[in-house]
Structure 1
Amino acid sequence: MSTALTPDPPIAFAEASELARSQAGFHRVKVGGINITALSDGTVRVYQRDQLRNTTPEEVDQILAKSYEKSPNRASMNSFLIELGDRLLMVDVGAGEVLGPKLNKLSGSLSAIGLGPGDVTDILLTHIHPDHSGGLMVGGRKVFPNAKLHVNKTELDYWASKENAARATGHTLDWFNLFEETVRPYLADGSVQTYDVDVELFPGLRTAAAYGHTPGQVSYILEDRGEKIVFWGDLIHVPEVQFEVPTVTITFDVDQKQAAAQRLKSLADAAEHGYLVAMPHAHFPGIGHVRRDGTGYRWIPIPYVNDAEGS
């Protein structure tokens, strides 16, 4: 039984750029003995004020103002590279060219650390939305020619369904069409591997259900030497708002009630246990901790570190 979709307002991006030139798009961290690099696919200003639910535009404006932010709010597109043994794993691959000219910076960010898309051995999708899977194909060609694409079977079945696509409207229908353009080529040549949720994909790395935003969204959990990081996917879209008021959802959530419940569960667990969280839409690098703050939560970004010996 498929999930019913509701019509969504259009996605609108601000036209003007804040910067005339691009800048560094990588940030290195270490979890246990494992190297992780946050990689930027770019930043956009997007009018999400009217797309948030369980709130009002006025409340959104007031909360954004506390962080010296306003509508259209800044949204980062972050991916995360994990060096796991002899494998290079990428969690999500950004939007590529499907959401405008300010994005599609992931290959450049990889190049800045001496790697190319062909070096990536495995891609771990949190879910199939164009800002997470659009970067699979650029210019009609596979960006990651040597990578296996790992995706939850529930998620893949949903987006691959012709019946679901036939019922979709608005930009959701566009996303079904983009699935055909960006994910289907990897399916066609046998590069996709599905898994049932809550499994260990690689040593020390497992999946966990995070359903609600999409029917099969997952989080990826990596642990090593007593340290832990959880790659959340789209549990949070507008951090300034949804940390303070976690019940706020967004029109892109397929199941609004389930999405809110999953956010509350994930925030509470991260705050209680103190592990690192990586988020695709938090301000770059999108890695930090969660702390309970009154009836809501507070996002504490990781500090910048540049203490390697030598230049």
Structure 2
Amino acid sequence: MSMNRRNFLFAAAATPALATAPKPVLASSPAKNSFQGTYRFTVGDATVTALLDGYLDAAPQMIPGFDEATILPALEKAQQKLYPGGVRIPVNAFLVEHNGQRILIDAGTSSFLGDTLGDLNKALAAINVSADTIDVIALTHIHPDHSGGLIDANGQAVFANAQIAVGQTEYSFWHDDGIMASVPESSRGFFQIARNTVAPYADRMIMHSGEQDVLPGLTSLPLPGHTPGHAGYLLQSAQEQLLFWGDLVHMTALQFDNPNLTIAFDTDAKQTVATRLGMFDRAVADNLLVTGAHLDFPGLGKVRKAADGYAYQPAPWQYGA
């Protein structure tokens, strides 16, 4: 298993504080509002709640080949703009209530990435769900904006009764001392954060590989590229489906029109693009309802073919769900 050294160097250069500071920041942003975002909807017999952990700004130097002449019109088309810190993207997690279980897809950031993030627990509180009632946390991968919320300021487990589901490839990658030693020192903080966030759950891990039934109605789906073991989860209930595709897309306004656009934290840019294109085609062919950690909140919609590639069609609001 190998690491794309160039991308790790790029990511480290863009955000050197990630490896050294206790509260690393991706890009400077104004203080956040007190809004806690939740949106509840149904998929067959399952109830799903989108939970907004906050937002971050992807600075231009984090987007290889950033071209303002192309980026600005694309953002404007999506009724968005380029902020002083860069392209603004949300960080979402999802609560699935199905078959008598509460399953969290990803766990937010806690305090790892600055003060515009870390609202997952507030969002859960807004729907009267306490951390100790979560049964399983299914991680798409072990980056800090997905696993940071697993631990508190003392490194202890936030979810006292939860098991952690994660891909075997993903877990092994971040726990491989040889790979960690081979990357620049400024990038090793990612490995330590990954190890620290899952460590309190070491005796309650559900490891999966390939397309595997992780739980009844929830199947893992390998989506490598962003990280070596990056995975999605396909929820199936009463003939309906929803794909949680993790970080397949970071920038809703940009990466459907231009699926070749990557971000510095994609460990293998070429594989990331190949995986994205393959999943776009599958989502179109199967008419899949999809959601993701960085799709514009609440991040629920479908992929459509367009004359110049692909388009994202937000799903209509489910009233009274």
TM-score normalized with structure 2 length: 0.89
Letter in structure 2 aligned against 1:73 = V
From 217, 226, 242, the counterpart of 1:204: 217
Letter in structure 2 aligned against 1:66 = K
How far does residue 167 in structure 1 lie from its aligned partner after superposition?
Answer: 1.6
From 35, 38, 49, the counterpart of 1:23: 35
Counterpart for residue 267 of structure 1: 280
Residues of 1 paired with 2:39 and 2:118: CA distance?
Answer: 17
Counterpart for residue 263 of structure 2: 250
Residues of 2 paired with 1:171 and 1:82: CA distance?
Answer: 36
How far does residue 58 in structure 1 lie from its aligned partner after superposition?
Answer: 3.3
Cα contact 2:47–2:97 (8 A) shared by 1: yes
| CA deviations over 1:80-133 (Å, ceiling 9, x no partner) | 111121211001011111001221111111111111111100000001111111
From 62, 69, 73, the counterpart of 2:73: 62
Distance change (3 Å), C-alpha of 1:227 and 1:54: farther
Residues of 2 paired with 1:275 and 1:50: CA distance?
Answer: 33
How far does residue 295 in structure 1 lie from its aligned partner after superposition?
Answer: 2.2
| CA deviations over 1:18-52 (Å, ceiling 9, x no partner) | x5x422421011111111111111123332x2322
Counterpart for residue 145 of structure 2: 131
Counterpart for residue 165 of structure 1: 180
Q: How many residues align?
A: 303
Residues of 1 paired with 2:304 and 2:58: CA distance?
Answer: 27
From 64, 79, 104, the counterpart of 2:118: 104
From 301, 306, 311, the counterpart of 1:298: 311
How far does residue 74 in structure 1 lie from its aligned partner after superposition?
Answer: 1.6
Residues of 2 paired with 1:27 and 1:60: CA distance?
Answer: 29
Which stretches in structure 1 are left out of the alignment for 5+ residues? none
Counterpart for residue 51 of structure 1: 62
Counterpart for residue 10 of structure 1: 14
Q: What SS does the corresponding residue of 2:47 show, helix, strand or coil? A: strand
How far does residue 287 in structure 1 lie from its aligned partner after superposition?
Answer: 1.2
How far does residue 266 in structure 1 lie from its aligned partner after superposition?
Answer: 0.8
Counterpart for residue 284 of structure 1: 297
Residues of 2 paired with 1:288 and 1:247: CA distance?
Answer: 20
From 34, 37, 52, the counterpart of 2:46: 34
How far does residue 171 in structure 1 lie from its aligned partner after superposition?
Answer: 5.6
Counterpart for residue 19 of structure 2: none
Cα contact 2:165–2:207 (8 A) shared by 1: yes
Distance change (3 Å), C-alpha of 1:202 and 1:180: closer
- 1:240 matched to 2:240: no
Q: What SS does the corresponding residue of 2:90 show, helix, strand or coil? A: strand
Residues of 1 paired with 2:126 and 2:318: CA distance?
Answer: 17
Counterpart for residue 23 of structure 2: none
Distance change (3 Å), C-alpha of 1:180 and 1:207: closer
Residues of 2 paired with 1:266 and 1:273: CA distance?
Answer: 10
Letter in structure 2 aligned against 1:172 = S
TM-score normalized with structure 1 length: 0.92
Q: What SS does the corresponding residue of 1:50 show, helix, strand or coil? A: helix
How far does residue 57 in structure 1 lie from its aligned partner after superposition?
Answer: 4.0
Letter in structure 1 aligned against 2:310 = Y
Counterpart for residue 193 of structure 2: 178
How far does residue 55 in structure 1 lie from its aligned partner after superposition?
Answer: 5.3
Letter in structure 1 aligned against 2:89 = A
Cα contact 1:50–1:57 (8 A) shared by 2: no
Letter in structure 1 aligned against 2:73 = Q
| CA deviations over 1:55-85 (Å, ceiling 9, x no partner) | 5343223322322321422211100111121
Residues of 2 paired with 1:14 and 1:293: CA distance?
Answer: 35
- 1:229 matched to 2:233: no
How far does residue 303 in structure 1 lie from its aligned partner after superposition?
Answer: 2.4
Cα contact 1:221–1:230 (8 A) shared by 2: yes
Counterpart for residue 151 of structure 1: 166
Structure 1 runs of 4+ aligned residues shifted over 4 Å read none
Cα contact 1:227–1:275 (8 A) shared by 2: no
How far does residue 205 in structure 1 lie from its aligned partner after superposition?
Answer: 1.3
Letter in structure 2 aligned against 1:257 = K
Residues of 2 paired with 1:235 and 1:169: CA distance?
Answer: 25
Cα contact 2:217–2:236 (8 A) shared by 1: yes
Counterpart for residue 94 of structure 2: 80
